[in-house]
């Protein structure tokens, strides 16, 4: 227990030390140009100016000629912070390795994690780099639509709390397969559950690994392959030696660091707006750069917007998720997918009581809710302080927006603080990736070792030593495979993989978990049908959806821009030319048209067959229907008779292994 207190104290000290540098204001930094250039942010109008005056100035202004600056972390400071965080987490692994003696220790920390600890660990497991960097980046480029991701992932925990947390904790042991095989034919059910778990974990793991490699390459200059191997070795070490205990404490540390960094940066964003939310959003609407950015986004849809109308459009839905059905489908996948994510379900096996399981979900909801409010503020803050054009010069997807914002706002206080704050958030992002990939590797290895090896191959006859060895060897193999996939995916577009992971979890895993717990007739055929159909449908629909790249669609969008710009040119006086930004847009559109006009997607398609970006609205019902029809077509008397036992068990916890006091 003393060691835990030391770890927590060290983590808090690190966070507070970074924040303390904010107390010494000096002049802004001078930033040099490099390989990755970004538009310098336009300085916001001082809050003392009236809103009406600010509006007049903003409308009258035109987007300023951008200056170029780089996003490059101070290598010495950043690597030093990396070393501190890695040192703390490795100390946790050494401590946890001494506690890990049985399969229960390895997979579920012996059931000895408290509700509060598990709540922080769930938050740490859930708040991925995609959440921290991706959502704020989406908001910085597309406004309100990026915010919809925050809402979906937060509301998801209501589903977890009301439906799966307590029953899964009471009815399961270590894995998804344990829950599903209780009253079914265990071998085929464990096999398909393991395949689904590995598929979901692989999709999510690949996206995290590629993100880690590109983040390190961009910010610190570490080669992509070196970064992937480094992350892989660390995650393997956490899981192989420390198991669930080490993974839990790494996730707790990461959650504390992430909340500290996001809170401090949000305070700086609010300070720029004089802690006046009305003024903050007025500045967004009146920003010439945001207005210009939005006008170009809607121009691709054949819509013309300028001035205040364009700025207001940034705060309305439809810039990114243009189809209302897409928003519904996304919401379904996020809300229902979380409850089917294997690495989230595993966390409920680590607590000693059902009350602790409920408490952990409630604590996680508060932490995650606060975090997503902060990411929303950071996204809009990046848009107004950095401009969308500036963000896109560093990364067209906007994933670096939060880090650029940290460097800029920190540098406004003191040059050294810009480097320190950027280094701190880079380290936090790195720790975030480590924590999430560790949880994913543990979930995948548990599915293979516990479900396939111990219960299918060995038919449940394996002693504790053999089970732990199988788990560690499997974790090593899964980690190595993750490294190899990360290296192979360097040039691939993996952005759709996170959405795919949630879609598979919502379509394949959730229907069978819910029906297994609450429907008396549910049986083996229903489990296999639900998982197979839900998984295949979600993957298949994503492969023919707008998530994939369709060169001819890109060319058609470019043609709309060309037509609009040429029409604008025709309206100008004789001899007059388009301004620099419009001329650049026209040149880029012509180039995009020529490069893409004859291409097809990786599936050989000219355009998407399935029009929605997320398949949830179709694949989730298909998963439920397949599970229901499979059950009705192949009824099983034994499954019905055993329902009373699992019903009592899920509501009382009878039969659940007791917590082990470490």
Task: Report pLDDT digits (tens) over 215-229.
Answer: 777 777 788 888 899
Task: Report pLDDT digits (tens) over 589-611.
Answer: 888 888 888 888 777 788 888 88
> Tokens 């995009």 sit at which residue?
592
What is the average pLDDT score of the chain?
81
- Whole-number Å distance between alpha carbons of 284 and 326: 26
pLDDT at residue number 41:
31
Q: What is the mean pLDDT of residues 128-146?
A: 84
Q: Is the pLDDT of residue 555 over 80?
A: yes
Name the token pair of 501.
């992971």
Task: Report pLDDT digits (tens) over 98-111.
Answer: 888 888 889 888 88
Q: What is the mean pLDDT of residues 570-584?
A: 80
Q: DSSP characters for 380-401?
A: HHHHHHH-HHHHHHH-TT-TTH
- CB neighbours of residue 643 within 10 Å: 18
Task: Report pLDDT digits (tens) over 325-374.
Answer: 888 888 888 888 888 888 888 888 888 888 888 899 899 989 998 998 89
Q: Is the pLDDT of residue 547 over 90?
A: no
pLDDT at residue number 494:
67
First to last CA, the chain: 9
CA dihedral of residues 140, 429, 261, 19 (deg, nearest 10): -130
Which residues are CB-neighbours of 656 under 8 A, at least 6 positions away?
Answer: 111, 169, 170, 173, 649
| Choice between 70 and 286, residue whose per-residue pLDDT is larger | 286
Q: How open is the CA angle 213-156-330, to the nearest 5 degrees? A: 70
Burial class (CB in 10 A: 0-12, 13-18, 19+), 564: buried
pLDDT at residue number 4:
42
Q: Is the pLDDT of residue 251 over 50?
A: yes
3-state secondary structure of 42: coil
- Whole-number Å distance between alpha carbons of 625 and 526: 9
Contact, 228 vs 213, CB < 8 A? Answer: yes
| Choice between 339 and 525, residue whose per-residue pLDDT is larger | 525
Q: Is the pLDDT of residue 290 over 60?
A: yes
Burial class (CB in 10 A: 0-12, 13-18, 19+), 8: middle
| Whole-number percent of the chain with pLDDT over 70 | 87
Q: Is the pLDDT of residue 426 over 70?
A: yes
| Whole-number percent of the chain with pLDDT over 90 | 22
pLDDT at residue number 70:
62
Closest CA to 386 of 62, 41, 29, 141: 41
Which residues are CB-neighbours of 645 under 8 A, at least 6 positions away?
Answer: 183
Q: What is the mean pLDDT of residues 281-290?
A: 92
- Whole-number Å distance between alpha carbons of 365 and 160: 10
Closest CA to 261 of 368, 391, 402: 402
pLDDT at residue number 492:
66
Give me the architecture of the 77-150+191-496 domain, per CATH: Orthogonal Bundle (1.10)
> Tokens 């107004």 sit at which residue?
384
DSSP at 182: T
| Choice between 596 and 514, residue whose per-residue pLDDT is larger | 514
pLDDT at residue number 397:
79
DSSP at 449: I
Q: What is the mean pLDDT of residues 566-585?
A: 81
Q: What is the mean pLDDT of residues 168-196?
A: 86
Q: What are the φ/ψ torsions at residue 70 (nearest 5 degrees)?
A: -105, 155
Q: Is the pLDDT of residue 661 over 70?
A: no
Q: What is the mean pLDDT of residues 543-559?
A: 82
Backbone CA torsion sign across 287, 288, 290, 294: positive
Task: Report pLDDT digits (tens) over 22-48.
Answer: 333 333 333 333 223 333 232 233 333
Residue 493: pLDDT band (50, 70, 90) is low
Every domain of the chain and the residues it spans: 77-150+191-496
Q: What is the mean pLDDT of residues 83-94?
A: 90
Q: Is the pLDDT of residue 69 over 90?
A: no
Residue 51: pLDDT band (50, 70, 90) is very low
Residue 206 CA from chain centroid, whole number: 12
Which residues are CB-neighbours of 117 under 8 A, at least 6 positions away?
Answer: 248, 252, 360
pLDDT at residue number 17:
37
> Tokens 């989730």 sit at which residue?
620
């Amino acid at each position: 227990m003393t060691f835990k207190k030391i770890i927590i104290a060290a983590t808090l000290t690190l966070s507070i030390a970074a924040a303390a540098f904010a107390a010494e204001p000096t002049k802004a930094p001078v930033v040099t140009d490099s390989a990755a250039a970004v538009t310098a942010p336009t300085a916001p109008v001082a809050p003392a100016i009236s809103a009406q005056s600010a509006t007049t100035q903003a409308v009258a202004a035109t987007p300023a000629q951008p200056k170029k600056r780089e996003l490059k972390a101070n290598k010495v400071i950043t690597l030093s912070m990396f070393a501190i965080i890695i040192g703390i987490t490795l100390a946790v692994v050494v401590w946890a390795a001494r506690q890990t003696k049985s399969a229960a220790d390895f997979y579920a920390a012996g059931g000895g994690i408290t509700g509060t600890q598990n709540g922080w660990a769930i938050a740490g497991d859930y708040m991925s780099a995609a959440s921290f960097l991706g959502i704020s980046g989406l908001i910085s480029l597309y406004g309100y639509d990026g915010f919809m991701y925050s809402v979906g992932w937060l509301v998801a925990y209501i589903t977890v709390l009301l439906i799966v947390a307590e029953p899964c904790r009471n009815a399961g042991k270590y894995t998804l397969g344990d829950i599903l095989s209780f009253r079914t034919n265990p071998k085929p059910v464990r096999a398909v559950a393991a395949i689904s778990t590995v598929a979901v974990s692989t999709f999510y793991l690949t996206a995290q690994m590629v993100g880690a490699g590109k983040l390190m390459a961009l910010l610190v200059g570490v080669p992509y392959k070196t970064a992937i191997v480094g992350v892989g070795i660390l995650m393997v070490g956490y899981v192989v030696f420390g198991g669930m205990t080490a993974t839990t404490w790494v996730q707790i540390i990461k959650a504390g660091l992430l909340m500290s960094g996001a809170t401090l940066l949000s305070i700086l964003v609010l300070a720029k707006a004089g802690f006046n939310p009305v003024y903050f959003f007025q500045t967004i609407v009146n920003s010439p750069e945001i207005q210009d950015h939005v006008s170009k986004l809607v121009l691709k849809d054949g819509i013309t917007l300028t001035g205040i109308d364009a700025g207001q459009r940034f705060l309305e839905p439809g810039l990114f998720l243009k189809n209302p059905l897409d928003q519904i489908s996304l919401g379904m996948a996020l809300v229902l997918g979380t409850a089917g994510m294997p690495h989230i379900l595993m966390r409920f096996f680590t607590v000693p009581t059902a009350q602790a399981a409920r408490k952990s979900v409630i604590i996680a909801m508060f932490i995650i809710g606060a975090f997503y409010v902060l990411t929303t503020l950071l996204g809009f803050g990046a848009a107004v302080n950095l401009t969308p054009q500036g963000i896109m010069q560093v990364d067209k997807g906007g994933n670096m927006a939060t880090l650029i914002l940290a460097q800029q706002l920190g540098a406004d206080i003191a040059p050294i603080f810009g480097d320190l704050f950027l280094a701190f958030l880079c380290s936090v992002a790195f720790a975030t990736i480590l924590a999430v990939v560790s949880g994913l590797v543990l979930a995948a290895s548990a599915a293979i070792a516990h479900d396939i090896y111990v219960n299918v191959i060995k038919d449940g006859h394996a002693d504790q030593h053999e089970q732990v060895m199988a788990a560690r060897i499997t974790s090593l193999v899964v980690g190595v495979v993750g490294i190899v996939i990360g290296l192979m995916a360097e040039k691939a577009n993996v952005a759709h993989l996170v959405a795919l992971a949630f879609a598979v979890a919502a379509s394949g895993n959730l229907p069978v978990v819910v029906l297994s717990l609450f429907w008396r007739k549910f049986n083996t055929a229903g489990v296999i049908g639900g998982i197979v159909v839900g998984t295949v449908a979600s993957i298949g629909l994503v492969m023919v959806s707008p998530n994939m790249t369709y060169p001819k669609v890109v060319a058609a969008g470019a043609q709309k821009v060309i037509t609009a710009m040429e029409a604008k040119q025709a309206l100008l006086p004789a001899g007059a030319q388009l301004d620099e930004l419009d001329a650049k847009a026209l040149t880029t559109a012509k180039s995009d048209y020529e490069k893409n006009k004859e291409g097809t997607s990786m599936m050989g398609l000219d355009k998407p067959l399935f029009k929605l970006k997320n398949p949830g609205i179709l694949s989730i019902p298909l998963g439920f229907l397949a599970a229901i029809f499979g059950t009705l077509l192949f009824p099983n008397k034994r499954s019905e008779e055993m329902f009373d036992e699992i019903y009592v068990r899920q509501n009382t916890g009878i039969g659940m292994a007791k917590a082990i006091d470490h």
